[in-house]
Chain A
Amino acid sequence: EADIYQTPRYLVIGTGKKITLECSQTMGHDKMYWYQQDPGMELHLIHYSYGVNSTEKGDLSSESTVSRIRTEHFPLTLESARPSHTSQYLCASRTDRANEKLFFGSGTQLSVL
């Protein structure tokens, strides 16, 4: 069983608010990822990190930022939330070894009013 945790599980906020979605893993994984997924739609990679102080943007520009100050922690921040940010946000991690599996957290369902 993967030990990767996301909080909050659900979040409803108003437009213009700054929010941070938390993701932590206790497996010592170097590689961490944030995906965005709308209902019934595919996963879109928005950010990833290959280690401490390493962050990259993915395929989807979501107007969010990430940081990786500690191996186990990879928070995602939206500076000014908009209704278009309403979605499910999934955090994932894996080791640096070849062929290693990707494990997902339970996700954060964000609704921006």
Chain B
Amino acid sequence: QKEVEQNSGPLSVPEGAIASLNCTYSDRGSQSFFWYRQYSGKSPELIMSIYSNGDKEDGRFTAQLNKASQYVSLLIRDSQPSDSATYLCAGFNTGNQFYFGTGTSLTVIP
């Protein structure tokens, strides 16, 4: 079983809509979670981190964490074509290692 499961997509949303990206994790002891954005041919760029249950908002991005359900999500409001990328869910496990999901490809259609 992979430590992080993400729907690989592709996910397509119209410009201005809300994009919802989800991931589940297996290590119940994991405390920290991150969302990275990766454009094609580029390296991952950190966009959100979340450590506590609930929501964390930063501009158009909202990360949500539910430790009881072992579920992490990222909402992107007012989606723009420039948001088109692959989004990687990552966690930090009890073995002191980062682990990454396979990523969800998002396309925002103008």
Give the interface size class of chain B. 20 to 34
Question: Cβ of A104: which chain B residues have Cβ within 8 Å of it?
Answer: 43-45
Once the chains bind, are A99 and B31 in contact (CB under 8 Å)?
yes
Question: Cβ of B51: which chain A residues have Cβ within 8 Å of it?
Answer: 99
Closest residue of chain B to A104, judged by CB?
A: B43
Give the interface size class of chain A. 10 to 19
Q: How far is the CB of B107 from chain A (nearest CB, A)?
A: 14
Chain B positions 15 through 53: 1 when the CB is less than 8 Å from some CB of chain A, otherwise 0: 000000000000000011010000011111110010100
A107 in complex: contacting residue of B32, B43, B46, B103, CB < 8 Å: B43
Once the chains bind, are A43 and B88 in contact (CB under 8 Å)?
yes
B102: interface (CB < 8 Å): yes
Complex CA–CA separation, A97 to B44 (angstroms): 21
Interface residues of B, Cβ cutoff 8 Å to A: 31-32, 34, 40-46, 49, 51, 86, 88, 90, 92, 97-98, 100-103, 105
Interface residues of A, Cβ cutoff 8 Å to B: 33, 39-43, 45, 88, 90, 98-99, 101-107, 109
Which A-B residue pairs are the 8 nearest by beta carbons?
A104-B43, A42-B102, A99-B32, A107-B43, A43-B100, A104-B44, A101-B46, A90-B43
